[in-house]
């Protein structure tokens, strides 16, 4: 289990299913007849911002030079000041609504591009990162190691629009027999396939070869109670909200019709409609049988260990005769055999219990129709425009987007997420300065010390738990920038040695990528956990905490302004990356992370009374965030339980980082004021923190993410954590009657 600072698309990426703008696969938003490249609204927006910033910076440099003749000027200061001023709205009272104050300027100047479901400081950084990746992936460099050449070939195949168009739906049609066909899109399925159909073979095939978990999510991962070993996990599939949309039905219908037409088969609308109705009803039943996402956050409740023999006794599904046979079928591909004694963790026994009666309502044709649909829907992105366009109504319904991101952008992101080491290497060589590392190490050590010394003042904890907490905090390992391995050609080449991409075969390259990734995951069953291995690539604008490794990770992609810059004022670094550091450390002690000990094992190190106090204090945060109503989601309230872990982490992070900054000032003296901005450094700390969260959502996506995202929307990450922190009110001289100073405040860490 790991928590990230901002995983917006986690739900979709985990399932490898329908992925919104630019995360996976192909798109074509430019009509072929338009030869001259036109600016997109995103580009126009960015250009306007760059122009405005340029004017402000020049003015600030002049102002600063005339005010401080003789004194040396921090070269980054005018840039920082310009950025902060641009984004804020100083007409708003910071004590009334600090988010409006910090982000009012940003909100007035930015419009969500047609291709995006959300637009924020993060998205802008991610867009810029994709631009960098485009540059390095398009570069011709024959001296590169084979891994880097493979990354460029994969990118090339993905951007080869004319060839992808020419191939139409053929690559998918060719592969369908290998997954025992999609009944709705072929004739005579019942005689050709149905008569010898076995559920375990069909599920196993989609899993082992294509990495698509259907009906049952069967995977190899770290054993929560023995974090050095891997173990088989069985859990319900993660389903998105798609089954509720009419647009989903339309999507499925359009794809089925396209395939039948491409195969020269009769397209009988009413037959298709009838079959699709049953597929959707099956998916609805499955979604209803899965536990709510809050339950899925509790690692103790999820952990049910047994062996395959027990599974055969307790969870025999009518359609799945033998779990040992099923497991061997999957593991065959990596030459591993298992016996009845093989251990398994069953994440949701209730789901398995319900599955029998659900499936009894459907025919094997319905079940196979559903399973292969999940595969087909994840693959249409690699096909021609006619196929890709079938997703549009659904993307509009869930994300509110009306067009897809530029092809290069989708492809850069696709190659990055599938070859993260190789792309990470290209990125750090191009855009990362190694000397950030020392300063990061220093900040991490200071913030960790603050966390530990604060434990002494937490009256709700008893000494025993306090000591274990301090021990756990000291044991947290840190990873900064990138793994040294990626700079080693031999390591990189070996990592990707089984891949053999062809620049003309994008679709087949996608399949090859998932097959290799799946094999790598399955092989782990007989390997120890390598805790030195990085859990993320380097070209990523995010940060992570891994509970089973007790590790915090700050990839190179987040070590840039506004989060961090060696030259920018320390107040801004502490408000930026400092807060992120504190946030990740605190994840080790949130409602989920606190269940793991200093070695990353799921083990209760709490006394019952401290546990009870923790739960009481958590309730305060649940209620506080649960009472925020979000205008963009039709005024719905946030889900305080779903977002609890992230909110605890935000609240801890802002406090620890602020204190660490105070310690820094005590040690090194106060910093020079920033030019042209009438705020002291305490105020700047909070301003930079808040501006990280400037952003807005399309209403469709707000409604969707309020149900699925375990992070609160940026606005409430700012308001919630600052309302709870008295130092904020002090820094801005807020009065008890102000909105930013509520009567009741919450604090856990
Ligand atoms: Zn987080």
**Least-confidence region, from 291-295, 409-413, 608-612, 654-658:** 291-295
Residue 268 region by backbone torsions, left for phi larger than 0, else alpha for psi between -120 and 50, else beta: beta
Q: Quote the pLDDT of residue 126.
A: 96
Cβ–Cβ under 8 Å, residues 298 and 592: yes
* Predicted local confidence at residue 73, as pLDDT: 54
Query: Are 24 and 414 spatial neighbours (Cβ–Cβ below 8 Å)?
Result: yes
pLDDT tens digits for range 545-586: 999 999 999 999 999 999 999 999 999 999 999 999 999 999
Neighbours of 90 (CB within 10 A): 14
Look-up of token digits 């209620």: 623
Q: Are 718 and 98 in contact (CB under 8 A)?
A: yes
- DSSP secondary structure code for residue 672 in this structure: P
Higher pLDDT, 5 or 621: 621
CA distance 463 to 450: 18
Mean pLDDT of all residues in 175-183:
98
Write down the pLDDT at residue 22: 29
**Sign of the torsion angle spanned by Cα atoms 216, 217, 219, 224:** negative
Question: Is residue 697 classed as helix, strand or coil in its secondary structure?
Answer: strand
Report pLDDT for 75.
Answer: 76
**Position 319 confidence tier, pLDDT thresholds 50, 70, 90:** confident
Measured from the Cβ of residue 35, the count of other Cβ atoms closer than 10 Å reads 6
**Which is nearest to 232 in space by CA: 216, 246, 248?**
216
Nearest one of 657, 656, 684 to 670, comparing CA atoms: 684
pLDDT at 67: 52
Of the candidates 410, 221, 198, which has an alpha carbon nearest to the alpha carbon of residue 320?
A: 198
Integer Cα distance of 592 and 293 in angstroms: 13
- List 636's β-bridge partners, or say none: 630
Question: Over the chain, what is the mean pLDDT?
Answer: 90
- How would residue 242 be classed by pLDDT, with cut points 50, 70 and 90? low
CA of 711 to the centre of ligand 1 (A): 7
Of the candidates 473, 467, 462, 472, the one whose C-alpha atom is nearest the C-alpha of residue 601 is: 472
Beta pairing partners, 230: 222
- 70: CA distance to ligand 1 center in Å? 45
Q: 48 pLDDT band (50/70/90 cuts)?
A: low
C-alpha–C-alpha distance, residues 385 and 167, integer Å? 10
What digits encode the pLDDT tens for the residues 669-695? 999 999 999 999 999 999 999 999 999
* 417-427 average pLDDT score: 97
Per-residue pLDDT at 157 exceeds 70:
yes
Which of 584, 532, 564 has its CA nearest to residue 433? 564
User: 565: CA distance to ligand 1 center in Å?
Assistant: 21
pLDDT at 347 over 70: yes
DSSP-derived secondary structure for 366-423 = HHHHHHHHHHHHHHGGGS-HHHHGGGHHHHHHHH---SPPPHHHHHHHHHHHHSHHHH
Confidence of residue 46 (pLDDT cuts 50, 70, 90): low
Verify cis geometry, omega within 30 degrees of 0, for the bond prior to 562: yes
Q: Average the pLDDT over 643-665 and give the result.
A: 98
Query: How far is it, in rounded angstroms, from Cα 117 to Cα 324?
Result: 43
Ligand 1 midpoint to CA 120 (Å):
17
pLDDT tens digits, residue range 452-479? 999 999 999 999 999 999 999 999 999 9
Residue 20: pLDDT band (50, 70, 90) is: very low
Q: In whole angstroms, what is the distance from residue 620 CA to residue 47 CA?
A: 44
| Tens-digit pLDDT profile for residues 701-736 | 999 999 989 999 999 999 999 999 999 999 999 999
User: Distance, CA 6 to ligand 1 centroid (Å)?
Assistant: 6
Please compute the mean of the pLDDT values over residues 113-137 and round it to a whole number. Answer: 96
What percentage of residues in the chain have a pLDDT greater than 70?
Answer: 89
Tell me what pLDDT residue 143 has.
74
Distance 7 CA to ligand 1 centre (A): 8
Lowest mean pLDDT segment, chosen from 39-43, 118-122, 495-499? 39-43
pLDDT band for position 33 (cuts 50, 70, 90): very low
178, 450 in Cβ contact below 8 A?
A: no
Q: What are phi and psi of 708, to 5 degrees?
A: -115, -25
Lowest-confidence pick of 1-15, 53-67, 129-143, 684-698: 1-15
Cβ atoms of 410 and 160 within 8 Å: the answer is: no
- Separation CA 4–CA 707 (nearest Å): 18
What is the total residue count of the chain? 749
Rounded distance, CA 212 to CA 196, Å?
A: 22
Residue 152 Cα to ligand 1 middle (Å): 32
- Cβ atoms < 10 Å from Cβ of 27: 23
What distance in Å separates the CA atoms of residue 391 and residue 21, rounded to the nearest whole number? 11
- Of the candidates 578, 6, 651, 97, which has an alpha carbon nearest to the alpha carbon of residue 107? 97
- Token readout for 330 is 């999957």
Three-state DSSP state, 249: helix
pLDDT tens digits for range 517-554: 999 999 999 999 999 999 999 999 999 999 999 999 99
Q: What are phi and psi of 638, to 5 degrees?
A: -65, 160
Beta-bridge mates of residue 306: 344
Query: 321: pLDDT confidence band, cut at 50, 70 and 90?
Result: confident
Cα 42 from chain centroid (whole Å): 22
| Helix extents (H) in 176-268 | 189-192, 199-208, 246-262
Is pLDDT at 297 greater than 80 in this prediction? Answer: no
**For the segment 51-89, what is each residue's pLDDT rounded down to a tens digit?**
566 666 666 555 555 554 444 457 788 899 999 999 999
State the residue for tokens 């380097």. 538
CA of 583 to the centre of ligand 1 (A): 6
Asked which of 174-183, 234-243, 400-409, 497-506 is least confident by mean pLDDT, the reply is 234-243
Q: How far is the CA of 646 from the centre of ligand 1 (A)?
A: 5
d(CA 240, CA 703): 13
Number of H helices, E strands in the chain: 34, 12
Give the strand pairing for 343-346 and 226-235.
parallel
At residue 634, the pLDDT reads 96
Q: Assign 320 a pLDDT band (cuts: 50, 70, 90).
A: confident
Distance, CA 653 to ligand 1 centroid (Å)?
10
Tell me what pLDDT residue 171 has: 98
Written as six digits, the tokens of 662 are: 């105070």
pLDDT in tens, 597-643: 999 999 999 999 999 999 999 999 999 999 999 999 999 999 999 99
Distance from C-alpha of 528 to C-alpha of 519, rounded to nearest angstrom? 16
Given this model, what pLDDT does residue 295 score? 60
Report the range of poorest mean pLDDT among 159-168, 239-248, 660-669. 239-248
Q: How far is the CA of 42 from the centre of ligand 1 (A)?
A: 28
Kindly give the distance from the C-alpha atom of residue 536 to the centroid of ligand 1, in angstroms, as a whole number.
15
Residue corresponding to tokens 């450390």: 585
Q: Please tell me the distance between residue 684's alpha carbon and the centre of ligand 1 in angstroms.
A: 23
CB atoms within 10 A of CB 376: 22
What is the distance of C-alpha 438 from the center of its chain?
Answer: 27
User: Strand, coil or helix: what is 94?
Assistant: coil
Distance 586 CA to ligand 1 centre (A): 9
Q: What spacing in Å lies between the alpha carbon of 91 and ligand 1's midpoint?
A: 31
Give the separation between CA 43 and CA 56, rounded to whole angstroms: 20
Structure tokens at 440: 């990061």
- Of 112-116, 135-139, 143-147, 615-619, which gets the smallest average pLDDT? 143-147
CB atoms within 5 A of ion ligand 1 belong to 3, 5, 646, 649
Taking the model in full, what pTM does it have? 0.90
Task: Look up residue 713 and give its DSSP letter.
Answer: P
CB 1 within 8 A of CB 592: yes
Q: Is 551 exposed, middle or buried (0-12, 13-18, 19+ CB in 10 A)?
A: buried
Tell how far the Cα of 555 is from the centroid of ligand 1, in angstroms.
Answer: 14
Rounded to whole angstroms, how far apart are CA atoms 481 and 554?
6
C-alpha 103 – ligand 1 centre gap (Å): 21
State mean pLDDT over 500-527: 97
pLDDT of residue 49: 57
Catalytic positions: 584, 650
DSSP state of 566: T
277 vs 30, residue with greater confidence: 277
């Amino acid at each position: 289990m790991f928590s990230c600072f901002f995983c917006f698309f986690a739900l979709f990426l985990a399932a490898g299913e329908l992925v919104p703008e630019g995360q996976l696969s192909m798109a074509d938003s430019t009509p072929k007849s338009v030869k001259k490249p036109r600016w997109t609204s995103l580009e126009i927006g960015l250009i306007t911002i760059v122009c405005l910033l340029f004017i402000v910076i020049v003015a600030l440099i002049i102002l600063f030079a005339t005010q401080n003749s003789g004194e040396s000027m921090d070269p980054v200061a005018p840039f920082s000041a310009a950025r902060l001023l641009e984004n804020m709205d100083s007409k708003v009272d910071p004590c009334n609504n600090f988010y409006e104050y910090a982000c009012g300027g940003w909100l007035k100047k930015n419009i969500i591009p047609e291709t995006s479901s959300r637009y924020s400081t993060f998205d802008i950084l991610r867009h810029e990162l994709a631009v960098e990746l485009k540059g390095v992936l398009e570069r011709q460099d024959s001296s590169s190691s084979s891994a880097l050449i493979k990354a460029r070939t994969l990118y090339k195949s993905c951007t080869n629009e004319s060839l992808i168009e020419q191939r139409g739906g053929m690559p998918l049609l060719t592969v369908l027999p290998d997954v025992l066909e999609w009944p709705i899109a072929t004739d005579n399925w019942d005689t050709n396939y149905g008569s010898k159909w076995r559920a375990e073979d069909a599920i196993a095939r989609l899993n082992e070869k294509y990495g698509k978990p259907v009906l049952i999510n069967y995977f190899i991962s770290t054993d929560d109670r023995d974090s050095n070993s891997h173990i088989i996990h069985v859990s319900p599939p993660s389903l998105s909200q798609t089954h509720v949309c009419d647009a989903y039905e339309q999507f499925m219908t359009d794809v089925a019709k396209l395939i039948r037409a491409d195969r020269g088969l009769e397209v009988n609308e009413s037959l298709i409609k009838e079959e699709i109705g049953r597929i959707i009803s099956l998916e609805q039943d499955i979604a209803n049988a899965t536990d709510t996402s809050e339950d899925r956050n509790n690692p103790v409740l999820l952990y049910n260990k047994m062996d395959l023999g027990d599974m055969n006794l307790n969870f025999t599904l009518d359609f799945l005769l033998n779990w040992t046979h099923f497991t061997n079928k999957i593991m065959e591909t990596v030459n591993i055999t298992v016996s009845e004694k093989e251990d398994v963790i069953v994440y949701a026994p209730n789901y398995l219990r319900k599955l029998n009666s659900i499936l009894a309502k459907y025919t094997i044709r319905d079940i196979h129709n559903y399973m292969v649909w999940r595969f087909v829907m994840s693959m249409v992105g690699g096909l021609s425009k006619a196929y890709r366009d079938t997703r549009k109504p659904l993307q509009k319904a869930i994300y509110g987007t009306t067009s897809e991101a530029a092809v290069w952008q989708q492809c850069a992101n696709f190659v990055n997420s599938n070859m993260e080491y190789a792309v990470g290497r290209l990125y750090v060589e191009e855009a990362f300065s190694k000397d950030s590392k020392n300063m990061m190490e220093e900040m991490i050590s200071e913030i960790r010390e603050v966390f530990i010394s604060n434990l002494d003042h937490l009256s709700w904890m008893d000494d025993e738990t306090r000591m274990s907490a301090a021990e756990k905090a000291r044991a947290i390992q840190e990873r900064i920038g990138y793994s040294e391995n990626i700079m080693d050609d031999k390591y990189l080449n070996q990592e990707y040695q089984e891949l053999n991409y062809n620049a003309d075969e994008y679709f087949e390259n996608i399949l090859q990528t998932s097959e290799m990734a799946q094999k790598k995951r399955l092989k782990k069953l007989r390997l120890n956990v390598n805790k030195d291995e990085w859990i993320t690539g380097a070209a990523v604008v995010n940060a992570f905490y891994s509970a089973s490794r007790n590790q915090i990770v700050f990839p190179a992609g987040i070590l840039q302004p506004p989060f961090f810059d060696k030259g920018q004022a320390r107040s801004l670094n502490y408000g930026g990356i400092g807060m992120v550091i504190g946030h990740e450390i605190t994840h080790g002690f949130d409602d989920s992370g606190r269940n793991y000990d200093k070695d990353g094992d799921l083990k209760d190190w709490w006394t019952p009374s401290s546990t009870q106090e923790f739960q009481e204090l958590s309730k305060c945060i649940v209620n506080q965030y649960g009472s925020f109503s979000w205008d963009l989601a039709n005024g719905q309230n946030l889900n305080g339980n779903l977002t609890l872990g992230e909110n605890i982490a935000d609240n801890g992070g802002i406090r620890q980082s602020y204190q660490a900054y105070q310690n820094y000032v005590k040690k090194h003296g106060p910093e020079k004021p920033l030019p042209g901005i009438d705020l002291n450094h305490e105020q700047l700390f909070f301003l930079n923190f808040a501006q990280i969260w400037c952003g807005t959502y399309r209403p469709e996506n707000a409604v969707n993410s309020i149900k699925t995202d375990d992070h609160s929307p940026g606005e409430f990450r700012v308001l919630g954590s600052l309302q709870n922190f008295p130092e904020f009110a002090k820094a801005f001289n807020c009065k008890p009657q102000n909105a930013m100073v509520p009567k009741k405040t919450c604090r856990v860490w």
